[in-house]
Amino acid sequence: MSTKTLEDEANKPKHKVVILGLGNVGRETVDKLGVSQLMPGVEIAIYEAAPDSEKIAKSVQAIRQRIIAERRNEWKGEGEPESLSPKLVVYDNIEKALEGAHVVVVTAAAPRNLPQAPSLEKKIELNSPIIKDIAHKIKAYAPRDVQVILSTNPVRHMAPILQAEAELNPGQVVGLSGTLEDARLTQSIAQNLGLKSSSDVKRAFVLTDRPDNRANLPVLAYVQVRRGADWVPLHMDIYEHVGRDHVAAEALWNKIQLDCLASGQKTVEGPRKPNKHGPASSIVELVRQSLGAITTGEASYPIELLAHDKKNGLFTPQRGVFTKKGFATLSMQWPPGHYPQSLPDDLERYGDLVGRTDVFNSKLVGPLEAPTFPSPPKKQGHKSEYILVVGGGNVGLQTAEAIATHELAKKVIVWNRDSSSVPKIKAEIDDLNLGLIARRKLIGGDIPDIEFTTDLAKALKEHPDIVVVTAGIARSARNPDLNTRKDLAKANGPWMDEIALQIKEHSEDSRVIVASNPVDTFTWRMVKTGGLNPAHVVGLGGETDSMRMIDFIVERLDLPSPEYVRNAFVVAPHSDFMIPEFDAVEVYSKEAKKWIGLSQALEDMAGVSKDKVAAELEAMKRKIVGGGKSFSDVLGTSDHFGPTGAIVQMIKQLHKGIETGQSDVISCSSRAPNLPDVPSDLAPLWNNQKGVFHRDGFEPRPELEATNRRNEAYRLGIKDLVETARMVPPLARTARHDPGRKDISVVGTGF
């Protein structure tokens, strides 16, 4: 007899996606799934066999807080909220994780700590036992109609093991292939031809059913390149690109293929290129299509995956669709086009391998039909022409990817000063772009590539609509001397001054969002040094703190999703003295069928006695205050997921203010002219305030938090803010500048 209660059934997720393995690809998959437009009521179940549970929990918490920040303000109703945000749940045993799963994503693999890329045989030896164990668990605990998506290499060899050991039907197991390799070829063509965007390349695909991944076959015959308003066959474009030199054209043709094959491989000469965003982005879209088919009963749009071949029983690239019962293969269909007669070898080899010589005759199939169920909604409303991200660290790169993925701008550029870290940053951007190419290939849209530069002045002269400042030395295990915000103010102050001056000189009308810590101090400094419009400069501290507040409330009350919390804001300085406005928070009670105050919710929903509520709120405040530092203590680096989500939310609200005249209420660091006890040489300082974006900039609404000015913690926060502002070194001037000018460079910043 079942022991499940009605409450258990009510709390059961409508859709459950399981991620097995929280390595690089697994973690990025969870993050990208979390902020994707999945259907309501999704649980993302996470299981990692590695023993460090504290790090796993902290990583997932960071991703969860990014989801909260990005999707804040989406629910506007008065009744019971819809759980728009997916619920992230970490399981300590795989059996519970697999229970009730609709889709299982397998990213688990043996640690990649070998000095160079292992051979095919070694990969099989290392990963086969892991996949067999997972297959046995799926057989024992997952529903029999579960869909499995596999990314563990070598996928072609792991997929049949998993399918056989789990005793699943062939269509229930698919491998990640095709789309990712196509993205690599697209990127290789764009880079070798110096194209501005990979969207200027189409019809690139790679044959991936080879015994060794290094022997994948890029098929260039159908590729077209956009030149102006025209699409030109690749072989013709290469011929023109090299000055009509046949030898050089053939050499470049071969180089494009070799660069594609080398993408993501580990070499003796250098470290492994990052290889996580491309696979993760591909997985996200496959999950979306699979869930859509399961939910609606309608087929997805055609996708190329590694799937079971009925002819030979092997897993080979198959074009097909997700259905309610699994992946169903279709007959081979390729876009129309003509191959160059002068370069037939590529085509002959491909035709022999797939046994489809008629692919190359004149009866090629036309474009495939659109999906039968909705893809992510096309982005509506205001969009920036160009957003510049200043700083190529974790927050900067993830912010650039989020801007591109959400189509918040037509162009995204990342700037970082010219230093030893530039090769690593470029490699990371290449990997991010792979993910964007894969996403664009699968769902379309106006997703831009991320560009990179070391010339800040040149990037600013193109007049970005928004400049997001993330530059600076971060608080991490590598920088043990930077323990406090005052330490960071002293170390990063000169950077902020230089950035402020360059913005003033080259693009003073840009809107500026400051994410560098200490954020209140550097937002203030951006205006004080650069003379920028105060309404155009804001910092993200308030949104970051507010998302943590929501997360802790959801966790404490075991709410279905963040949509069940509203009016949650943190104000005052982004420091140990920040003030969560608990009195304004409302929580939706299913039992009472209405919105109630947080104190009442703690009593009714968590069983906290009335005399213990104040202590409960104080404990929650300590968690919010220590939220940022807790990440660096556990993970050895600052949280970059949460701040990225806060930046995205701020850009969305800024756009809404421009489009409609007024945004939703948001908390951010802004000009506060009436702060008590601020010396005249520093006034006015900046601190977290609630307010709204208008077309002309940000307008603080101090009346929304007037009671805080009588709070003792508020006065202590202002005192700390003044002390931190004093830590920023005085502006240094160089002899090559007129002291009276505002375009002064800063000494010793490395610019």
The 10s digit of each residue's pLDDT in 278-323 is 889 889 888 988 998 888 888 877 777 888 877 777 887 777 889 8
Confidence of residue 478 (pLDDT cuts 50, 70, 90): low
Per-residue confidence (pLDDT) for residue 276, from 0 to 100: 84
Contact between residue 107 and residue 20 where contact means Cβ atoms under 8 Å apart: yes
Q: What is the dihedral of CA 561, 376, 28, 293, to 10 degrees?
A: 90
Residues 686-709: tens digit of each pLDDT? 888 899 999 999 999 876 554 555
What does the alpha-carbon distance between residue 520 and residue 725 come to, in Å, rounded to a whole number? 9
Residue-averaged pLDDT of the chain:
80
Q: Which residues contact 100 (CB under 8 A, 6 or more apart)?
A: 12, 13, 16, 143
**Which of 52-56, 341-345, 557-561 comes out lowest in average pLDDT?**
341-345
Contact between residue 236 and residue 223 where contact means Cβ atoms under 8 Å apart: no
What does the alpha-carbon distance between residue 664 and residue 654 come to, in Å, rounded to a whole number? 9
Q: Which residues contact 262 (CB under 8 A, 6 or more apart)?
A: none
Nearest Cα to Cα of residue 205 among 233, 166, 228, 177 = 177
What does the alpha-carbon distance between residue 522 and residue 669 come to, in Å, rounded to a whole number? 10
pLDDT at 710 over 80: no
Per-residue confidence (pLDDT) for residue 484, from 0 to 100: 77
Reading the block at residue 288, the tokens are: 């979306």
Per-residue confidence (pLDDT) for residue 285, from 0 to 100: 84
Q: Which stretches does DSSP call E strand in 81-139?
A: 87-90, 103-106
Residues 327-381: tens digit of each pLDDT? 988 754 433 333 333 333 333 333 333 333 233 222 222 333 333 333 444 455 6
Helix (H) or strand (E) holding 260: helix 246-262
What does the alpha-carbon distance between residue 125 and residue 212 come to, in Å, rounded to a whole number? 14
What does the alpha-carbon distance between residue 321 and residue 301 come to, in Å, rounded to a whole number? 6
pLDDT at 140 over 80: yes
Contact between residue 15 and residue 146 where contact means Cβ atoms under 8 Å apart: no
Domains observed in the chain: 14-176+275-333 (3.40.50.720), 177-271+335-367 (no CATH)
Query: Would you call 504 helix, strand, or coil by DSSP?
Result: helix
What's the pTM? 0.84
Contact between residue 693 and residue 668 where contact means Cβ atoms under 8 Å apart: no
Per-residue confidence (pLDDT) for residue 527, from 0 to 100: 92
Per-residue confidence (pLDDT) for residue 495, from 0 to 100: 82
pLDDT at 107 over 80: yes
Per-residue confidence (pLDDT) for residue 1, from 0 to 100: 31
Per-residue confidence (pLDDT) for residue 376, from 0 to 100: 46
pLDDT at 266 over 50: no
What does the alpha-carbon distance between residue 739 and residue 642 come to, in Å, rounded to a whole number? 40
pLDDT at 683 over 60: yes
Q: Using H for helix, E for strand and C for coil, what is the string for 627-682?
A: HHHHHHHHHCCCCCHHHHHHHHHHHHHHHHHHHHCCCCCEEEEEEECCCCCCCCCC
What does the alpha-carbon distance between residue 38 and residue 750 come to, in Å, rounded to a whole number? 44
Nearest Cα to Cα of residue 59 among 630, 545, 706 = 630
* Strand partners of residue 26: none
Mean pLDDT of 417-426: 87
Q: Which of 116-120, 123-127, 477-481, 639-643 has the highest mean pLDDT?
A: 123-127
Q: Which residues contact 713 (CB under 8 A, 6 or more apart)?
A: 572, 577, 579
pLDDT at 738 over 70: no
**Amino acid of residue 33:** L
Mean pLDDT of 653-673: 92
Contact between residue 322 and residue 292 where contact means Cβ atoms under 8 Å apart: yes
Mean pLDDT of 410-419: 92
Per-residue confidence (pLDDT) for residue 748, from 0 to 100: 32
Residue 438 vs residue 663, higher pLDDT: 663
Residue 295 vs residue 657, higher pLDDT: 657
Contact between residue 517 and residue 393 where contact means Cβ atoms under 8 Å apart: no
Q: What are phi and psi of 656, to 5 degrees?
A: -65, -40
pLDDT at 585 over 80: yes
Per-residue confidence (pLDDT) for residue 707, from 0 to 100: 52
Confidence of residue 199 (pLDDT cuts 50, 70, 90): confident
